[in-house]
Structure 1
């Protein structure tokens, strides 16, 4: 089954109006591979600005949301609000949310469920720490994180999974193409066996962790890597090269 390559740019807590205009400039200049789906993950305060400025072919994602439509949750945003300003994606479960802000597997699963029910598409992030990898627990961790989401999700058609080894995020270290492929393959097999074979074969699994223009083509050549979730490089013109990794 052919899976459409999907590249997300997670700007994290970066950017002001000037820098955002520069990013939009190189996205418009491209050219971007039309066979690759592109999504940019934008700080909440700039979601509407970016949605009105980027080409309609580029998806716009919030970087987080809460698990209910509204209420007394100071500082949070809801899927309903994200949709109201025209954005159509949300990134959930990023390692920084898990590690820095203490979000549990259960909370992330509840967020994914509510976002999907609200009509958003979701990039759901999973991944192990360096300690977990060195202890041989990579598969145990990513399977556990995926299982929690699977307990809340029935329809996977609007879910992209992003495998992001925590030890490779923002460190300059990258999993080798073979290391990344091994985890993607094992995860796909787990989904086939524990959720549904059709879901396992159709779901897109991105790799995230210090992806750059220099390493993207080799990573993209792996059979179970269906795209990237890009951090720092998504703020730079080289993001165009990463989007075009399959060309």
Structure 2
């Protein structure tokens, strides 16, 4: 069975209640696009967003703790995300790995917690500029997949997102061949490990925009996108959703 197409938006630390108007516009124009649409807003907006997202748009968190509860000031647990109305959660995003020194093992523990709570984990992997320039890309991706994706992962509870860290804010853009190489390697690694790895949705997360979305979605084994800044406005994210639906 072919992976389900997914357009996921990561709002990062952006958005207040006023931004829900963007969700309304997206739901109105693209809620029935024929592909899965996911918005991961700040935790402060999850409940309000899930209460009005409507059919066709899912809501997720941007991170979760590996434990269900406890003395972890400032953190949020997977059950709490679920209780607030989330259906997904991003784990292992490059900014979490860099800013908070998250290890592959910690990412895997968070994914397990997400699965236990009934959430779909969106597990991020990707190489730095030094690793890309050093010819280590495929080795890094293989290591992160092996360490960050838990044994309980299935195509139903896990999505994999490749984000080339070296292409974020550097002015460098991956070529179609570079994206294709990594996505093919990820697919092969998942098939070897899980058998049904061909069913895992593989997202690309390197500065996807309306202007390049169609080209990216035409690349083999790219089943959707994890979009950052371009997901904040329905006028930008909508065309990306439409391009995925047309791919």
**TM-score, normalised with respect to structure 2:** 0.94
Question: Match for residue 116 of structure 1?
Answer: 115
1:53 aligned residue: 52
How much does 1:116 deviate?
Answer: 0.7
Deviation (angstroms), 1:33: 5.4
Aligned partners of 1:182, 1:54: CA distance in 2, in Å? 35
CA deviation after TM superposition for structure 1 residue 9, in Å: 0.3
- Given that 1:126 and 1:146 are in contact with CA atoms closer than 8 Å, whether structure 2 keeps it comes out as yes
Instruction: Give the secondary-structure state (helix, strand or coil) at the position aligned to 1:27.
Output: helix
Is the CA contact 2:93–2:124 (under 8 Å) kept in the aligned structure 1?
Answer: yes
Report whether the alignment pairs 1:203 with 2:207.
no
Hey, what does 2:240 align to over in structure 1? 242
- 1:1-247 to structure 2, matched below 5 A, reads 1-18=1-18, 20-32=19-31, 34-193=33-192, 195-198=193-196, 200-236=197-233, 237-246=235-244, 247=246
What's the CA shift for 1:31?
Answer: 3.1
User: How many residue pairs get matched?
Assistant: 244
> Using a 3 Å threshold, how does the CA distance of structure 1 residues 118 and 21 change in structure 2: closer, same or farther?
closer
What is the Cα deviation at residue 172 of structure 1? Answer: 5.0
Say if 2:50 and 2:86, in contact at 8 Å, map to a contact too.
yes
**Which region of structure 1 is more displaced relative to structure 2, 166-175 or 130-139?**
166-175
Consecutive unaligned residues in structure 2, runs of 5 or more:
none
* Alpha carbons of structure 1 residues 171 and 38: separation in structure 2 relative to 1, 3 Å: farther
Q: TM-score, normalised by structure 1?
A: 0.94
Aligned-residue Cα RMSD (Å) equals: 1.5
| Gap runs ≥5 in structure 1 | none
CA distance in 2, matches of 1:128, 1:33: 34
Post-superposition Cα deviations, 1:169-218, rounded to whole Å, max 9, x if no partner, equal: 3445432222111100011111222x1232x2111100001100000000
Q: Secondary structure at the match of 2:37?
A: strand
